[in-house]
Amino acid sequence: MRILILTARLAILVVTVTTAAFAQGAEGAPQGPTFLDALFVFMLATFIGLGVVTRVSRLLHTPLMSLTNAISAIAIVGSIVITGRDHPTYITVLGAIALFASMTNIVSGFMITDRMLRMFKRRDVSKP
Amino acid sequence: MRVQIIQLAYLLATGLFVFALHWMNDPKTARRGVISGVIAMATAVVGTLIEPGIVNWGWIAVALVLGFAVGVPLSRVPLTAVPQRTALSHAFGGLAAGLVGTAEYYLWLGQTPENLTAFRMSAITAEIILGYLTFTGSLMAAGKLQEIKWIPQRPVTYPLQNVSNLSLLGIAVFCGVALIIKPVALAFLFPVIIVLALAFGILLVIPIGGADMPTVISLLNSYAGLSAVAMGFVLDNKLLVTAGALDGSSGLILSIIMCRAMNRSFSNVLFGAFGQVKAKATTAESKTVKSETPVGAAQMMEQSNLVVVVPGYGMAVAQAQHRVRELYDQLTKRGVDVRFAIHPVAGRMPGHMNVLLAEADIPYDKLVEMDDINHDMPQADVVLVIGANDVVNPAARHDQASPIYGMPIINADKARVCYAIKRSMNPGFAGIENELYYADQTFMLFGDAKAVVGELVKSLSGPNGGH
């Protein structure tokens, strides 16, 4: 387990570093620093994610998945920007479908996670 | 000023998302995690809505209301349908990422092609390939789990399957690289990549059978997160990058746990087509199984000190968890210690059995992980296997020819007596003969899991006039 996670971390590190080098060398140099920032953020967030999730109780792996499902529907932020700005209609439609899909995931993801978590009780609560 | 407020809102949301996952480490604090996640999401959405330049309020409102209207019923599905709901929401996540990537590309292509830098194009390519393959792949997975008629449940294989699948992905990546170099001149390649990614998603999941679904769902979970990360790179939005990375790493860890619980590698799950591995010539010697009546089994359990229940997907299919709870009550009332042995890959998604048993009001401190229960197995007087098969097959320990050799199992054969509830002697999903059923101490209880457990409860409650 530890070795696998370590390998994953190393792989992410290698990919990040090479992409960063590539991004710097690429023509889009003016935006270079912003992209590098984003890569730093990605790498650190992945480490935090791996650290936090390894400690999640095994009892709760199904709720964990529906919770992260809702969290990754943060794509709603991108969808709002695309839908909301003054763009050609077909762009707005693409954005609105994405917005609908993300909103569905947020609502159903958080609600079903809470519904499942409410069921986990210790003995004293659930008297036969 | 407004920009700073938005960035601060995103910062707050990021922190709260990390806490949301952190609080999931214990069932006692887990609901706090949901609240934290909801606040984070609300902060992020409000922060984005005050972004300058948002004018299409009508479109936004309609999409939000429709999303809400579909989301609420999706959160009320029966718990046995949770795996397909999860797969479906991975599909939605992938679709959103793919559509946003498509919209961004055509927007820049039409208005400001100089914005299509090499880095942005790499991110867009990654976003649409991951997004669309997650979309169709998850839809296929959801269809298989829902047992939709025209989607084959069994793994579908054909000659050169892996070669053709991988070359399809290879072509898509190659087109992507070409687009990165010439984003405007080769614009016609963009829809080609979309079609290839959609097709690859379907072909990736077609050869995968039900027993491997926990791994595949976890992997698709990870892809959905990574496509959100790619969207963050495209839009230069750090909140998308962090939240996506949290989802991506969670999916990765769950996949690793699932793979380890089956002693298999990622590539073996994805390209191995488990269900139809070598139709191993089952030893011809006619072995005999012994069967027992529910009444007899109930008497045995009544006189035990420790009964261990091993649930599997069969319990979910038969919806037997509430009967199991009644059995638990009857035995506990008589002072019998009842524990549940949970194998990580039992069911169709990570943690599936825990949720079903929690739904039936079984206290979670009675749900014991495989490694912990195996220590106590030799002290168990009775082990009751309900709809589990491969996860209790002793062949995994010693038979090197068996396809499941090396897989960690629950040592049901170490208990003094073993009762196994099974419809018939047909081998399970993976088509592997289970030698546990032929062991000296094993007795079969033939029939539907719900009906048999109901019989057990009836014979226990009968003499006391209970019920």
Nearest to B422, CA basis, from B298, B308, B291, B327: B291
The mean per-residue pLDDT over the stretch B304-320 comes to 92
Which pLDDT score, from 0 to 100, does residue B149 have? Answer: 79
pLDDT exceeds 90 at position B457: yes
Radius of gyration of chain B (CA): 26
B399 — pLDDT class (breaks 50, 70, 90): confident
Mean of per-residue pLDDT scores for chain B: 89
A&B contacts, CB < 8 Å: 408
What does the alpha-carbon distance between residue A75 and residue A101 come to, in Å, rounded to a whole number?
Answer: 9
| B35 and B92 part of one domain | no
B14 against B285, higher pLDDT: B14
B332 contact A CB<8A = yes
The mean per-residue pLDDT over the stretch B276-300 comes to 69
Which pLDDT score, from 0 to 100, does residue A12 have? Answer: 61
B465 — pLDDT class (breaks 50, 70, 90): very low
Work out the burial of residue B315: count CB atoms within 10 Å of its CB; fewer than 13 is exposed, 13-18 middle, 19 or more buried: buried
Which pLDDT score, from 0 to 100, does residue A25 have? Answer: 47
DSSP state at residue B155 = P
Within a domain: residue B43? yes
Q: What is the domain extent for residue B401?
A: 294-461
B278 — pLDDT class (breaks 50, 70, 90): very low
Which pLDDT score, from 0 to 100, does residue B213 have? Answer: 87
Chain B segment 258-287 residues within 8 A of A by beta carbon are 260
| B57 and B86 part of one domain | no
pLDDT exceeds 60 at position B223: yes
- Determine whether the interchain pair A73/B93 forms a contact, defined as Cβ–Cβ distance below 8 Å: yes
Which pLDDT score, from 0 to 100, does residue A6 have? Answer: 56
Q: Which residues of B touch A100 (CB under 8 A)?
A: 63-64, 66-67, 70
A23-65 confidence digits (pLDDT tens) = 544 444 445 567 888 899 999 999 999 999 999 999 999 999 9
| B51 and B87 part of one domain | no
B267 — pLDDT class (breaks 50, 70, 90): confident
Which pLDDT score, from 0 to 100, does residue B390 have? Answer: 85
Last residue of a domain, one of B274, B303, B322: B274
B252 contact A CB<8A = yes
pLDDT exceeds 90 at position B193: yes
| B107 and B69 part of one domain | no
Q: Which residues of A touch B14 (CB under 8 A)?
A: 45
B276 — pLDDT class (breaks 50, 70, 90): very low
- Determine whether the interchain pair B75/A112 forms a contact, defined as Cβ–Cβ distance below 8 Å: yes
CATH code (residue B378): 3.40.50.1220
Residue A37's closest chain B neighbor by CA?
A: B238
B405-420 confidence digits (pLDDT tens) = 888 999 999 999 999 9
Nearest to B99, CA basis, from B205, B198, B175, B187: B198
Which pLDDT score, from 0 to 100, does residue B174 have? Answer: 93
Interface test with chain B among A66, A74, A86, A117, by most B beta carbons within 10 Å: A74
When CB atoms are compared, the residue of B51, B247, B344 closest to A71 is: B247
pLDDT exceeds 90 at position B160: no
What does the alpha-carbon distance between residue A43 and residue A49 come to, in Å, rounded to a whole number?
Answer: 10
pLDDT exceeds 90 at position A1: no
Name the one residue in this structure whose structure tokens are 């962090």.
B242
pLDDT exceeds 60 at position B464: no
Which pLDDT score, from 0 to 100, does residue B388 have? Answer: 87
Written as six digits, the tokens of B187 are 């614009």
Question: In chain B, how many domains are there?
Answer: 3
Nearest to B242, CA basis, from B5, B19, B4: B19
Q: Which residues of A touch B34 (CB under 8 A)?
A: 67, 110, 113-114, 117
B20 contact A CB<8A = yes
Which pLDDT score, from 0 to 100, does residue A124 have? Answer: 53
pLDDT exceeds 60 at position B155: yes
Within a domain: residue B282? no
Last residue of a domain, one of B57, B76, B95: B76
Which pLDDT score, from 0 to 100, does residue A111 have? Answer: 96
B165 — pLDDT class (breaks 50, 70, 90): confident
pLDDT exceeds 80 at position A20: no
Which pLDDT score, from 0 to 100, does residue B7 have? Answer: 93
The mean per-residue pLDDT over the stretch B146-154 comes to 80
Q: Which residues of A touch B71 (CB under 8 A)?
A: 103-108, 111
Q: Is B440 a catalytic residue?
A: no
Which pLDDT score, from 0 to 100, does residue B268 have? Answer: 75
| B71 and B82 part of one domain | no
Which pLDDT score, from 0 to 100, does residue B262 have? Answer: 86
Judged by average pLDDT, the poorest of A109-113, B4-8, B154-158, B201-205 is B154-158
- Find the catalytic residue in B390, B413, B440, B448: B390
| B437 and B330 part of one domain | yes
B45-98 confidence digits (pLDDT tens) = 999 999 888 999 999 999 999 999 999 999 999 988 999 999 999 999 999 999
pLDDT exceeds 60 at position A126: no
The mean per-residue pLDDT over the stretch B322-340 comes to 94
- Determine whether the interchain pair B355/A62 forms a contact, defined as Cβ–Cβ distance below 8 Å: yes
- Determine whether the interchain pair B71/A107 forms a contact, defined as Cβ–Cβ distance below 8 Å: yes
A61-89 confidence digits (pLDDT tens) = 999 999 999 999 999 999 999 999 999 99
Interface test with chain B among A104, A106, A115, by most B beta carbons within 10 Å: A104
What does the alpha-carbon distance between residue A16 and residue A27 come to, in Å, rounded to a whole number?
Answer: 18
- Contact (CB, 8 A) for B287 and B438: yes
Last residue of a domain, one of B217, B244, B274: B274
Which pLDDT score, from 0 to 100, does residue B32 have? Answer: 95
When CB atoms are compared, the residue of A31, A65, A123 closest to B349 is: A65
Which pLDDT score, from 0 to 100, does residue B18 have? Answer: 96
| B321 and B311 part of one domain | yes
What does the alpha-carbon distance between residue B442 and residue A24 come to, in Å, rounded to a whole number?
Answer: 66
Interface test with chain B among A72, A86, A127, by most B beta carbons within 10 Å: A72
B466 — pLDDT class (breaks 50, 70, 90): very low
The mean per-residue pLDDT over the stretch B348-362 comes to 92
Which pLDDT score, from 0 to 100, does residue B284 have? Answer: 42
| B126 and B30 part of one domain | no
| B262 and B233 part of one domain | yes
- Contact (CB, 8 A) for B382 and B308: yes
B384 against B428, higher pLDDT: B384
| B247 and B388 part of one domain | no
pLDDT exceeds 90 at position B178: yes
Geometric angle at alpha carbon B136, from B133 and B137, rounded to 5° = 75
| B150 and B191 part of one domain | yes
| B36 and B90 part of one domain | no
